[in-house]
Amino acid sequence: MIENQSDNIDNKDNESSNQDNSPEDSSSAPDPKIGIDELSPQKTEEINTEELKNTISNNDARLEQLEKEHETLKNQYVRISADFDNFRKRQSRDQDDLKIQLVSKTLTAILPIVDNFERARQQLKPESDEAQALHRSYQGLYKQLVEVLKQQGVAPMRVVGQQFDPNLHEAVLREPSNEFEEDFIIEELQRGYHLEGKILRHALVKVSMGPGQQNSQEEEEKDKVEEHIDSEENTSEDV
């Protein structure tokens, strides 16, 4: 009995000594999880930084591409807008030209009637009361016709005493004149008209050749006459 108790006491002492030594042994042994826990945040941060750089790089490239596309679309819009504006102006100009052409064609057909009215006015010289009444009626119709032409933008040319301009006038005759210088209009043979600043009909005019032309022609004719007389005298002397 006594031996068994002593054995039990020795076993307890051994167990207590083993228990006292076990914490020291466990604390001194290395824990592999501690190294992994210390490296994982650093690696995670490096991975996150690399991904962020890639994302920023991709975003920059995408932004640059979008800016190029935006610039291309902007240029296309500017060109289309300019083309449309030019098209609109051209259409408006063509419509105005077409309108003027149609009006010009109609008014040009009416102008000979106006010419006949003006010739009749110059020739008629009413003497009796009946003729004067007819003349007044005629003048009323002529004024109405002229007023209609004015409303359509028709304006007559004033050419007598003006310098000849082939863009406005058509020279039918040329003759010497002591009153007008050379290339100035002496007389209006048929009235010309403007329409909205454009030529509706050219004026038929008589143009001056200047006083020098007349004198030179007279001198040439005089010289010819003198030469003819001299030749006749020489012939008579030979005989």
pLDDT digits over 210-238, tens only?
886 444 555 555 555 556 555 544 544 44
DSSP 173: E
Q: How many residues does the chain have?
A: 239
Written as six digits, the tokens of 54 are: 């890639």
Range 155-239: architecture per CATH? Roll (2.30)
Mean residue pLDDT of the chain comes to 76
The span from the first CA to the last CA of the chain, in angstroms, equals 211
Indicate whether 12 pLDDT > 90: no
Say which range, 163-167, 180-184, 196-200, 221-225, has the weakest mean pLDDT. 221-225
Q: How far is CA 92 from the centre of its chain?
A: 11
Higher pLDDT, 113 or 129: 113
Say which range, 25-34, 89-98, 205-214, has the weakest mean pLDDT. 25-34
Q: CB-hemisphere CA count at 13 Å for 183?
A: 4
Identify which of 211, 203, 213, 214 has the alpha carbon closest to the alpha carbon of residue 172.
203
Strand partners, 185: 207
pLDDT value at residue 121: 78
pLDDT value at residue 169: 93
**Using an 8 Å Cβ cutoff, are 183 and 208 in contact?**
yes
Indicate whether 161 pLDDT > 70: yes
